[in-house]
Every structure is written in C-alpha cells, then in structure tokens.
Structure 1
Amino acid sequence: MGETLLRKWLLADFGLDVVELTPVAYGADVAAQVWRAVTATNSYAVKWSGAGTNTGHQVAAFLADSGLPGVPELIRTSEGGLWSVHAKKRLTVTPWIDGTRAAETGLTDEQWSEYGVLLRRVHDAEPPPRLRDALPKHSHIDARTPALVDEVRRRLEAPDGDVAEELAAVWKQYDGIISDLLTNRPPAPTGARVVCHGDPHIGNVLVDKHLHLIDWDDVIHAPREQDLMFMLGGMGDVGPTTTAQQEAFLTGYGPHTLNQETVHYYRHVRAYEDVINWSHQALTGPDEPYALQVTKGILTTGLAALAVQ
C-alpha cells in the first residue's frame, strides 16, 4: 500500500496529520503491515491487518480503558470507533511504545515475574456479558489451517527448490509426529473459561520501563492453560529458557493448579497450527529459509516434540 494513501486514511479516519511514516518489521503475521507514524506532537503504531477478529481489539480497548497496565490504548477514530476498514482489512492506531521487543533482548527474572502479574490481570478481567459472549471459543488460525494441509502435501510430493526439498525431508523424518498432530487431537477441555490473549509469547511483549502486551488479534475465551502453556516449555527464545525464569513467571502469576490435560490440548493445537502454517510459508514465502528453520525447531525441540509425548 502506498504511503500517500495511508496518510490520507489516517487523516480522514483518525484526524492524524502524519508528517513521517516508517515501515516496521512485524513478527510472523504475513497478513499485517505496521508503521510508525509521527505527527507534529506524537508518535503512533499503525497496523493494517486482515488477521484475527474484531473482538480482539474490543477486548484490548476494554482492558486499557479499565486501567490495566501493560495493555496499550486504542486511539479512536473521528467517529469514536476502534478501527476503520479499507480493502477488507482493519486499520488500528495505538500510541507508539519506544521500547524493545522482549524476544530480542530477553527478560530478567524480575521482568518474568512482572509478566506473570500482567497476564494474571488479563485472565482475571471480567468484560461485560455482551463482549464476553462474543469472544471466539476456538482459534481462528486452527479453523483455517486444514485448508493448507492438502496444499502443503501436494507441493511436497514434487518439491521445487532447495528449501522445498529440505522441507520434504523434514516431513519424512518427522512423519510420526506430524501424523499425530494431524489425526490424534486430544479431547477438548471443558473447564472454566477466561479472557485469553491467545498468543502471549514474548515476541508480543515490548519493554521500556515496564512491559506491554501487544497484538490482540488472537483473543479467545478459553481455560487459562491456553495462554499458560506458552510459559511451560517448547517455545524457544520466545518463552522462558531457564527454570528460574519459569518459576519467576509462575510466582508473579499467582496461585493456579495447572490442568495438565488442558495444557496438552492447547500445546497440541498450537503445534499443529505452527507446523502447517510455517511449512506453508516455507513453500510460498515470504522468508522461506527462515520459515523452514522455524518448522524444524518446532518439530525437534519445540511444541510438537512436547505435544505428542
């Protein structure tokens, strides 16, 4: 999308007269584009995305408006909305956080404890019934992943290029794990549900003087284990990497008896989503070699290895 058009949208929709726009590399979400937008007085994070659901932004706005520290506020449109829509994608604006991505710098044990406190506050939040009832009960990524399975398998039957050939070898090597992910999902949990971020690894955490949990596209109404499983191993550098870090997070989070069957379910779901979606990206782009390495990591030491135990 052209910079001139984006400036026009920001002025018309949000009343922001932007003097500088800078594209920002943004994680693994190929459905999103992010910019830093600077006006004469402030800086903003601008996201144009077709991912997730509208409900995530409503939850983020509810949490921020409730004063929950660590959840960035959403800048309202000129008409009071939380987003505008262009080309069937949502345009959202939040204040720019001049910090670093936690996945790049890591967190200290003290910060891991702070993050436990933050995620507990999210889970303990009580949105109004209308918003709570509108929350998705299942992952939108999980719902669209089966359509990719046949395409990935078809492409791997006649791999085109070095990355595809290596991915085909990886799929053959880990055929047992992949078959388990595709055909052997555990029973869905039936426990009490809370507001879950859905993707709370520290690639979605920004650090300045405090921690900020961003990217609320994947919000889901689910047992706490949906989010907590990210802190229990298999996430590489975007989760705790030492026992001390994990204990610091859980201490900050506070009392909760983990349901291991529920952890297993959400670990299995996420591993399935990740293996298929990263494999698809390795075949179709962007960043095919990187996507291949991520896929290999998930299968060797990541969530998939844990999910089928």
Structure 2
Amino acid sequence: MGDTLLQRWLYDDFGLDVVELSPVGHGADLAAQVWRASTATNRYAVKWSGAGTNTGHQVAAYLGDSGLPGVPEVVRTVEGGLWTFHGKKKRLTVTPWIDGRRAADGGLTVEQWSQYGVLLRRVHDAEPPARLRDALPKQSHIVARVPGLAAEVRERVSEPQDEVEAELAGLWARYAGTIDVLLADDPPVPEGPRVVCHGDPHLGNVLVAEDGLQLIDWDDVILAPREQDLMFMLGGMGEVGPTTAEQVEAFLSGYGPHVVDENAVRYYRHIRAREDVVLWSHQALTGPDREDCVRITRGILAEGLAALAVEAC
C-alpha cells in the first residue's frame, strides 16, 4: 500500500492532514502494519491490522477514556467511531504517538517492574460496561488456527527444501517429545473469576515514556482469569519478561494481593507455548526473517516457555 493512499484514508476517515509517514518495524504480527504519522502539529501511531478482534480496540478506548494511567487514548474517526475498515476487512486505527523506548530493548528497572505491576492490576480491576464485557472473547483467537499450521509445518520439515527448513526440521526432531506434549490435549481449563486481560503483556508491548509505562497493542484482549496475563511474569518469557527473582518480586509487590492459581498458570503457559512454537516455526517457513524465527523457536523449545510448560506437566 502506498503512502498516498494511506494519507487519503487518514484524512477522509480521521480528519488528519498527514505530511509524513514512517513505517515502524517492530512486532511479530504479520497481519498488521504500523506507521508513525506526522501532521503539522502532532504525531500519531497508525495501525492497519487484520489480527485479533474489534473488542480489543474497544477495551483500549474504554480504559483510555476512563483515564487509566498507562493506556493510550484512542483517536476517533470523523464520525466518532474507533476504526474504519479497508482492504480485506482490516481495521485502521489511530492513537497519539508516544515518545519512548520499547521495554523489550532495554528491560525495566526494579522500580519500573513494580510500576508495571500497578498498571496491570488497574487493567484487571477495570469494570467495563456489561455489553462490552459480554462481547470479549473467552479464549485466544489463535487457538483454532494452530492445528492446521502445525500440520503444515510437519509436512514441510519432513522434506526440507533449503538450509533454514533443514535447521527447523532438526529442531522438530530433537524436541519431538516436547512438541507432541504441547499439541496434545490441554490441561484443565481454569474456572476462576474472569477479568479483562491484555492477553499479550510482554515487554514488546510496553513503552517506557517520560510520564511512565504505556501498555500498547490490545489486539489480543480476552476475558480470563488474571493468570492469563500473570503467566508472562512467572517464568519462561526470557528477555521479554522478568529475568531475576528481584524483578518478579517487584512486579508482584506492585500488583498487590492475589493468590496465584498455579493450575491456571500451567494452562495459559501451555496454550501460549504451543502457539509460539507453531507460529514462529511457520514464520520460519514463510518469512520474513526466517533465520531469526528459527533462533526464536530454538530458544522457546530449549529453555523458554515450551520447556517450562512441559516440565510442569
């Protein structure tokens, strides 16, 4: 898609006279594109995405409008909506641009981990209107796609066609036991109280700004037990989660009182590990950044979320 077309959409849909567009390359979601858009007076983050559900952006708008610190406000369309559709029903959304670094690029200090605990607790304690709460998905939107993608990966690695596929085939052979466990039946579904969960609160979706931490990318919002999000803080996420016991303690201290349901953590860890192994493996076959995808897959299987999930079975 050319810049001129996007600029026209932003003007017609949001009333923004954009003079400069710069693509933003972060993120593993191949279904989404992100730009920094500049007008004569302001800058904005523009996202064109076919991922997730509409309810994610609705939740982000509700939290932002509620003044919850750490959730960016949502820019409305000229008709007062939250998004418009273009292409193959992909959502075009706009939020103010946040100056700051990605937490995944430099980590968080112990104090910032505590602040992040406070932020995530506020999200979980939010009480959206009943109609919005009832519309939230109860499971990951990726779940249904995983079996088909896993079958495709198995077929491709059975007869690798290049060096990258051969390396991936070696990983699937070496960790066949782990992958078989992940693709088998899930642990029991948690039955605890459900709250608004971000769904993907690793450090790649956190910005460190002058006025505090900002939690972005709400495509994976889900109504689930708190452990859906807390799982990311309790081991297996590598550099996009806490890396020391002190950091974990700081996060939990900021988060406040909650008795962690270890069975729920086990369930969400299993689900996420399976998604990560299959999706990163599939991206290693289809691109882009195929070599990096194999490296990430190896880390997940060898010492990351998958290894931890299977160890707990």
| Class of the TM-score when normalised by the shorter of the 2 chains | over 0.9
1:182 aligned partner? 183
Shift of 1:220: 0.2
Q: What CA distance in whole angstroms lies between the structure 2 residues aligned with 1:81 and 1:147?
A: 35
1:42 aligned partner? 42
**Is 1:28 the counterpart of 2:28 in the alignment?**
yes
Q: Which amino acid aligns with 1:242?
A: T
2:70 aligned partner? 70
2:157 aligned partner? 156
- The superposition leaves residues 146-194 of structure 1 with CA deviations (integer Å, 9 ceiling, x where unpaired) of 1211111110111111111011010110011000000132011111100
**Is 1:115 the counterpart of 2:113 in the alignment?**
no
Q: Which amino acid aligns with 1:275?
A: V
| Structure 1 stretches of 4+ moved >3 Å | none
Q: 2:276 aligns with which of 269, 274, 277?
A: 274
- For the residue of structure 2 that corresponds to 1:198, the secondary structure is coil
- The superposition leaves residues 194-214 of structure 1 with CA deviations (integer Å, 9 ceiling, x where unpaired) of 000000001000011210000
% identical aligned pairs:
72
1:225 aligned partner? 227
2:304 aligned partner? 302
Q: Which amino acid aligns with 1:106?
A: G
1:61 aligned partner? 61
After TM superposition, the structure 1 = structure 2 runs for residues 134-145 of structure 1, keeping only pairs within 5 Å, are 134-145=135-146
1:241 aligned partner? 243
1:13 aligned partner? 13
Are the equivalent residues in 2 in contact too, given 1:136–1:220 (CA < 8 A)? Answer: yes
Q: TM-score, with normalisation over the residues of structure 1?
A: 0.99
Q: What CA distance in whole angstroms lies between the structure 2 residues aligned with 1:175 and 1:147?
A: 17
Q: What CA distance in whole angstroms lies between the structure 2 residues aligned with 1:183 and 1:145?
A: 12
Are the equivalent residues in 2 in contact too, given 1:26–1:33 (CA < 8 A)? Answer: no
Q: What CA distance in whole angstroms lies between the structure 2 residues aligned with 1:120 and 1:203?
A: 19
- For the residue of structure 2 that corresponds to 1:91, the secondary structure is strand
Are the equivalent residues in 2 in contact too, given 1:196–1:221 (CA < 8 A)? Answer: yes
2:82 aligned partner? 82
Q: Which amino acid aligns with 2:100?
A: G
2:294 aligned partner? 292
Q: Which amino acid aligns with 1:160?
A: Q
Are the equivalent residues in 2 in contact too, given 1:139–1:218 (CA < 8 A)? Answer: yes
List gaps (5 residues or longer) in structure 1. Answer: none
After TM superposition, the structure 1 = structure 2 runs for residues 188-227 of structure 1, keeping only pairs within 5 Å, are 188-209=189-210, 210-227=212-229
C-alpha root-mean-square deviation of aligned residues, in Å?
0.6
List gaps (5 residues or longer) in structure 2. Answer: none
Shift of 1:61: 0.3
2:264 aligned partner? 262
2:171 aligned partner? 170
1:132 aligned partner? 133
Shift of 1:26: 2.2
- For the residue of structure 2 that corresponds to 1:36, the secondary structure is strand
- For the residue of structure 2 that corresponds to 1:233, the secondary structure is coil
Are the equivalent residues in 2 in contact too, given 1:84–1:92 (CA < 8 A)? Answer: yes
- The superposition leaves residues 87-115 of structure 1 with CA deviations (integer Å, 9 ceiling, x where unpaired) of 11000000000100000011000000000
**Is 1:51 the counterpart of 2:51 in the alignment?**
yes
Q: TM-score, with normalisation over the residues of structure 2?
A: 0.98
Q: What CA distance in whole angstroms lies between the structure 2 residues aligned with 1:159 and 1:81?
A: 47
Q: What CA distance in whole angstroms lies between the structure 1 residues aligned with 2:123 and 2:72?
A: 13
Question: How many pairs are equivalent?
Answer: 309
Q: What CA distance in whole angstroms lies between the structure 1 residues aligned with 2:97 and 2:161?
A: 41
Q: What CA distance in whole angstroms lies between the structure 2 residues aligned with 1:240 and 1:74?
A: 29
Q: Which amino acid aligns with 1:119?
A: L
- The superposition leaves residues 269-297 of structure 1 with CA deviations (integer Å, 9 ceiling, x where unpaired) of 00000000000000111110011011001
